Amino acid sequence: MRQATLGLFYVVKYLELCFLCVWTGLLFSSAFYFIDLITEQSDINSKDQQCIIFIGISLVLVLWNLFYNNLLINLRFLAKMRCVTFGMCVFDAFNYLFCYCFLQKPCRDKCFTPWSIIKWLIKGGIIGYTIYLITEKKNEWDDEFEADFIESDKSDTTRLDMYFIVYLLQHPIFIISRFPIFLLYTILTCCCDKGEEINDDEEF
């Protein structure tokens, strides 16, 4: 891999991280608003309570994915590369508490590994059921709007279900979006010097 290609790869990873941060913010703001709409009702049934609980669980999974798998683990690894002693405290110690005992493989989030597939199937089931509950609640509000002609249609004020669907599809979206980026990069830099070749075994 050439130096310029590696630089582009880092840029793409940072863009994906920025997208995930923004999308997590949209999820949380929309979720809090959706929960607020439910709690404003005079009668909250067991289905509504279940919807609120599953939204809360889904938000915890989203936040864990952002901070542990994408953001904090990279920052802690950077700290270890800069200072071994400090890295032992913020990287090795936390990794031992979270992963090295018996959760090392489940904690990793790599493509096409059995643990990652199992983890995303579980997350997909939980978040998928949350999407079902949200959609059902929005359909209920639609029926009330058509029947009672209330002033505002609540189902049109939130897109929480769509935000969760895009979140579940983040990996396919990232993989597909890389193809045009690297294709355009290859075309525009076909006659340019991309720097020295970097060996996989080279230490930085």
Minimum mean pLDDT range among 68-77, 160-169, 179-188: 68-77
pLDDT band at 84 (very low <50, low <70, confident <90, very high): confident
- Say if 143 falls within a structural domain: yes
- Say if 122 falls within a structural domain: yes
Whether residue 16 has pLDDT greater than 50: yes
The Cα 78–Cα 75 span in angstroms is 5
User: How would you label 75-111 residue by residue, b for 16+ Cβ within 10 Å and e otherwise?
Assistant: ebeebbeeeeeebeebbeeebeeebeeeeeeebebee
CA nearest to 50, candidates 168, 162, 130, 120: 130
- Say if 48 falls within a structural domain: yes
CA nearest to 98, candidates 127, 123, 121, 67: 67
Residues 110-125 pLDDT 10s: 666 777 788 888 889 9
Whether residue 85 has pLDDT greater than 60: yes
Q: Tell me, what's the pLDDT at 204?
A: 40
The Cα 170–Cα 41 span in angstroms is 33
Find the mean pLDDT for residues 99-103: 60
β-pair partners for 2: 197
Q: Which long-range contacts (CB under 8 A, 24 or more apart) does 36-44 make?
A: 37/154, 37/157, 37/158, 38/137
The Cα 2–Cα 50 span in angstroms is 52
Maximum mean pLDDT: which of 66-75, 78-87, 151-160: 78-87
pTM metric for this prediction: 0.74
- Say if 90 falls within a structural domain: no
Find the mean pLDDT for residues 159-176: 88
- Say if 197 falls within a structural domain: no
CA–chain centroid gap for 117, Å, is 15
Q: Tell me, what's the pLDDT at 146?
A: 63
Residue 193: helix, strand or coil by DSSP?
coil
DSSP class of residue 192? S
Domain hosting 176: range is 3-70+110-188
- Say if 128 falls within a structural domain: yes
Per the model's pLDDT, the better-predicted residue between 59 and 103 turns out to be: 59
* Number of domains into which the chain is organized: 1
Find the mean pLDDT for residues 58-81: 76
- Say if 183 falls within a structural domain: yes
- Say if 169 falls within a structural domain: yes
